[in-house]
Amino acid sequence: MEPNTTLQNQPVLQYCMLIIEGRFLSSKKKVYVDFGDQNDEIIPSNYAVITETAKVRDFVTIIDALNYMASIGWEVVHLTPFETDQDGGTFENFRYLMKRSR
C-alpha cells in the first residue's frame, strides 16, 4: 500500500439501529431499522439498502432478526437497553447499533 492512501481507498462504513420493542416472550414484537434522518445524502443508493433491511420486520424473534441482519453483512457494535410502557407494565427493550462496510 502506498504511504499516501486516500479516503477513497478505505471501505465505507454504514451504520443503522435495529430496534426491537415488545414483551420478551411475546410474538407481538415491533422490529424496525433506523438509518437516521440524513441517510439520502450519506448512503448512496439507499433504496436498495432500505428495501433489503425492511425484510427484518417480518421476523418475530430477536434471534431471527439478528441472524437476518448478519446474513446481509451487518454486525452488532453496541447494545442499548431502554424501557417502554405497554399494557400497564414497563418492559425492557433493546436497540442494536449495527455496522457494515461496503
Residue 85 located in a structural domain: yes
Taking the complete model, does pTM exceed 0.75, yes or no? no
Residue-number span of the structural domain to which 43 is assigned: 12-101
- The residue type of 13 is L
Q: Is 74's pLDDT higher than 60?
A: yes
pLDDT digits (tens, 9 = 90+) for 27-55: 667 888 888 776 555 555 567 777 787 78
How many structural domains are present in the chain?
1
49 vs 18, higher pLDDT: 18
In a domain, 4, yes or no: no
11 band by pLDDT with thresholds 50, 70 and 90: confident
CA–CA distance from 88 to each of 22, 23, 85 (Å)? 13, 12, 7
Residue 49 in any domain: the answer is: yes
Instruction: Indicate whether 2 belongs to any domain.
Output: no
The CA distance from 16 to 39, in Å, is 10
- The answer to whether position 58 is within a domain reads yes
- Per-residue pLDDT at 27: 62
Whether 15 shows a pLDDT value over 80: the answer reads yes
Q: Are strands 13-21 and 30-34 parallel, antiparallel or unpaired?
A: antiparallel
Q: Classify residue 88: in a domain, yes or no.
A: yes
